[in-house]
Structure 1
Amino acid sequence: MDIIIAGAGRVGFNLAKTLSIGHNVTVIDRNAEALQRLQESLDILPVHGDIEDPYTYHKLIDKHADLFIAVTDLDEANIVSTLIAGDSIEVGRKFIRLRNSFFAKSSIREKLGIDEAIFPMQLSSDTVETLLEYPRANNVKSFKYLGMKLISLRASSISEPVELAEEGFAVVGIERDKRFFVPEPPVTVAPGDLLYLFGDEARIRELCGRYETDVPGRIERCVIFGAGDLGVAIARRLLDSGIEVKLIDKDLQRCETADELLEGEATAISCRYGTAAIFEEEGLGEADLMIAATDDDEYNIIKCLEAREHDIRKVVAINNELEYYGLMHALGIVVVRGPKISAYHAILERIYSSGVVMERKYCGGKGSVFLRKIFPGSKLAGRTVKPFKKGECALFLVRGDRLARFDGPRTLEEGDVIVAFVTERAAPALKAWIYGL
């Protein structure tokens, strides 16, 4: 594909890094240094200019773009660039990143002819809200066409390796000692493993209660470090769920703004130096949950470690840096994708998903999920298919509410869903197989 990315910030850089492998990528930005860094490390075409200036696109006037992606930090710039690009050059699909939740409820997407609008702040808030429903889980993912869920949990209650019987669910990934793999049955679980379970959520929820005992089974009080836009968005979700919330921030103005936006329902505390003493001074150790939601990943990690020292049993860090994901897991910190990394993953998932196959990421991008539904009238209905057998993959056939391993030839029926969990290394081969059915 020919892809144009407007914005060379963190999201734009990561997208260019991934998409430049196998695609022709052009990146537009007025920051010459950012473009130079991109060009030095990636095979991309840099275009220096203001994405809101029509003249910038004159350099691309004869260029066709299969995909235009606007991912700067400014909604207005993204909207304007999408309009100008659509008017100046031939564009197949338009993706846009938007911070303001107002646009999610408006008709702006239809009016601008935007194919995909990504609201990363909402994505991060949604993930945190899910943790209230599954307090002993690390993460929860739902899927279109399926009532089953992918739930991750830490095996903290076992002291020696045990064999896990799969009943109504399957183990589709294990992260152990910073290494991720897709196990084959029978599955042996080691102490401290981060397990990824797919299947009936009631069965998995019961397992969470047995395997993850270090965290509370119910969240009633929460502390949030960071009173910026994301911290306020998360606090709003928690307050609506009846959770008592304290917001902590070094910036007094942000605390005052948060207090106003939340109408005084949360306690906003200004801590100028953000020292560990705040835990004792404000009695933060009584919280069931601590969320570090600042823009600084390193600061978030530190606050989570301090919270653990003050006996807060469940700690969550918002993560915007791919390189910190493994470290956070190794430290026993629950990781929630921040707005920037949420935007990156959401855009990739929507680029690679189609009307035939859906693709999702899990375990920080170390694993991929592929789904293919057998729709009415599909050429696959009634056809016998052999499974993918190249390793590093767990393949299933979901029929109704029944989950079965796809480990031999299967005759497919309308309504069936083929689901594959695969490591990133094996993902290209699996992708070719599932599209080629």
Structure 2
Amino acid sequence: MDIIIAGAGRVGFNLARTLSIGHNVTVVDRNAEALQRLQESLDILPVHGDIEDPQTYRKLIDKDADLFIAVTDLDEANLISTLIVDDFIQIKRKIIRLRNAFFAKSSIKEKLHITDAVFPLELTSDTITTLLDYPKANNIKSFKQTDFKLISLWANGIDAATEIDAPNVRLVGIERQKRFYIPDGNRVEPGDLIYLFGDESEIRSVCRRFDHDTPPAIERCVIFGAGDLGVAIASKLLQQGKEVKLVEKDVSLCRIADEKLEGEAMTLSCKYGTGELFEEEGLGHADMMIAATGNDEYNIIKCLEAREHGIRKVVAVNNELEYYNLMHSLGIVVVRGPKMSAYNAILESIYSSQVVMERKFCGGKAVVFLRKVFPDSPLVGKKIKPLKKEGIKLFLVREEKLLPFSEPIVAEEEDLLVGFTTETMAPKLKVWFYER
């Protein structure tokens, strides 16, 4: 594909790095240094100029594009760029990143012929909200093709090796002693971080059996960080009827947060330290603490402090990928920050039109592939042989049943082929999915 990315910041850089492999990528930005860094490390075409200036796109006037992606930090710049670019370039699809949730309810997307709009603050706060429904889960992934979910949890409630015995649940990944692998069976050891795929009601039953530490329900929440993200998370939690306390060092942000939340959340200033706040304000009685600042190191520290003061479920927003493994190893629930959420959501939007859906999990150490057998699919009535390789697990979802795919099958309409594998084996499994 021919792809134009407006914005060379963190999201634009990561998109360019991923999409420049196999695609022709052009990056537009007025920051010459950022463009130079991109050009030094990636095979891209840099275009220096303001994305809001029509003159910038005259440099590309003879260039058609399959995809235009606007991902600067400014909503106005992204919106204007998607409007201007149409006058100079024939664009097939447009994807835009927006901060203001107002635009999600407006008709601006249709008016500007935008294919998809990504709202990073909403994505991150929605992810945290799902933890209310699955209090014992470490992470939850949903899929468009099936109601089955991929849920991870710590096996801290067992004293000996235990088999998972649920008809519509399969163990599809284990992280044990910092090593991730795809297990052959359903055997779990104490302390494992396990990944389960299947019917959510059955997974809930497994969660209760394997995790005795996490509270069965989450009612009281503490959020560290009263910036835009902290306020967005607080708003979502309040809508769910939860008790929310918001902690922030910046007194001015406390005032702004209090106004935006109309006083429904208790806003606390920790300008002179947070240690005494846990005792004085009873923060240790919370069911869940979310560290939602833009500083990953600070988020980690707050999570560790919260755990020391008795909060059993701690969540850290992860802004820099390099900190993911550290958070993960400390047993902290990790949620993607807005920029990482935007990057992943845009990639999913790009790949959504493809035959095979691909999602990463366990911080990129593992990959799940899905292929739906639609009525017009060439797979209908075709005999399919499984790929039998170590580190790969295949399943067939048929009539709401999760079946092992270890022997040849004849594909039927509405079947769903699902494969789990490690990052190193992902290319082989991807080829197998596309060759069916």
TM-score normalised by L of structure 1: 0.95
| Equivalent residue number for residue 410 of structure 1 | 409
Does the CA-based 8 Å contact 1:255-1:268 persist in structure 2?
yes
| Equivalent residue number for residue 349 of structure 1 | 348
Deviations 1:127-177 (A, max 9, x none): 111101110001112222312111111111234444434532111122233
Helix, strand or coil at the partner of 1:17? helix
Deviations 1:350-407 (A, max 9, x none): 2223253322222223222222222223332222111123442221111111100111
Q: Following the alignment from structure 1 to structure 2, what is the Cα–Cα distance between the partners of residues 335 and 346?
A: 17
Give 1:88's aligned amino acid: F
Q: Following the alignment from structure 1 to structure 2, what is the Cα–Cα distance between the partners of residues 215 and 413?
A: 41
CA change 1:42–1:145 in 2 (3 A) is closer
Matches for 1:82-121 after TM superposition, within 5 Å: 82-121=82-121
How big is the shift at 1:92?
A: 2.4
Q: Following the alignment from structure 2 to structure 1, what is the Cα–Cα distance between the partners of residues 390 and 48?
A: 44
Helix, strand or coil at the partner of 1:305? helix
Give 1:240's aligned amino acid: Q
Helix, strand or coil at the partner of 2:18? helix
Q: Following the alignment from structure 1 to structure 2, what is the Cα–Cα distance between the partners of residues 234 and 355?
A: 32
| Equivalent residue number for residue 156 of structure 2 | 156
Matches for 1:4-403 after TM superposition, within 5 Å: 4-165=4-165, 167-185=167-185, 187-354=186-353, 356-403=355-402
Does the CA-based 8 Å contact 1:345-1:361 persist in structure 2?
no
Does the CA-based 8 Å contact 2:65-2:91 persist in structure 1?
yes
How big is the shift at 1:340?
A: 0.7
Q: Across the two proteins, how many residue pairs are aligned to each other?
A: 436
Deviations 1:211-254 (A, max 9, x none): 11221111111100011111111111111222111001111121
Helix, strand or coil at the partner of 2:257? helix
Helix, strand or coil at the partner of 2:212? coil
How big is the shift at 1:429?
A: 2.5
CA change 1:29–1:178 in 2 (3 A) is farther
Does the CA-based 8 Å contact 2:166-2:202 persist in structure 1?
no
Cα RMSD (Å) of the superposition? 1.7
Deviations 1:316-373 (A, max 9, x none): 0011211111111100100111111111111112222325332222222322222222
Deviations 1:52-91 (A, max 9, x none): 1111122222223222111111111111111222221222
CA change 1:72–1:274 in 2 (3 A) is farther
Q: Following the alignment from structure 2 to structure 1, what is the Cα–Cα distance between the partners of residues 344 and 336?
A: 9
Structure 2's unaligned 5+ residue stretches are none
Helix, strand or coil at the partner of 2:377? coil
How big is the shift at 1:433?
A: 2.1
Give 2:58's aligned amino acid: H
CA change 1:92–1:303 in 2 (3 A) is same
Helix, strand or coil at the partner of 2:271? coil
Q: Following the alignment from structure 1 to structure 2, what is the Cα–Cα distance between the partners of residues 353 and 172?
A: 23
Does the CA-based 8 Å contact 1:249-1:274 persist in structure 2?
no
Helix, strand or coil at the partner of 2:235? helix
| Equivalent residue number for residue 433 of structure 1 | 432
Helix, strand or coil at the partner of 1:147? strand
Over the matched positions of the two proteins, sequence identity in percent amounts to: 69
Q: Following the alignment from structure 1 to structure 2, what is the Cα–Cα distance between the partners of residues 110 and 431?
A: 34
CA change 1:388–1:353 in 2 (3 A) is farther
Helix, strand or coil at the partner of 2:147? coil
Give 1:47's aligned amino acid: V
Helix, strand or coil at the partner of 1:60? coil
Q: Following the alignment from structure 2 to structure 1, what is the Cα–Cα distance between the partners of residues 181 and 87?
A: 46
Q: Following the alignment from structure 1 to structure 2, what is the Cα–Cα distance between the partners of residues 71 and 273?
A: 37
CA change 1:25–1:390 in 2 (3 A) is farther
Does the CA-based 8 Å contact 2:231-2:261 persist in structure 1?
yes
Helix, strand or coil at the partner of 2:343? helix
Does the CA-based 8 Å contact 2:318-2:337 persist in structure 1?
yes
Give 1:353's aligned amino acid: S
How big is the shift at 1:199?
A: 0.6
Give 1:189's aligned amino acid: V
CA change 1:190–1:268 in 2 (3 A) is same
Q: Following the alignment from structure 1 to structure 2, what is the Cα–Cα distance between the partners of residues 86 and 175?
A: 48
Q: Following the alignment from structure 2 to structure 1, what is the Cα–Cα distance between the partners of residues 78 and 377?
A: 39
Helix, strand or coil at the partner of 2:379? coil
Does the CA-based 8 Å contact 1:16-1:44 persist in structure 2?
yes
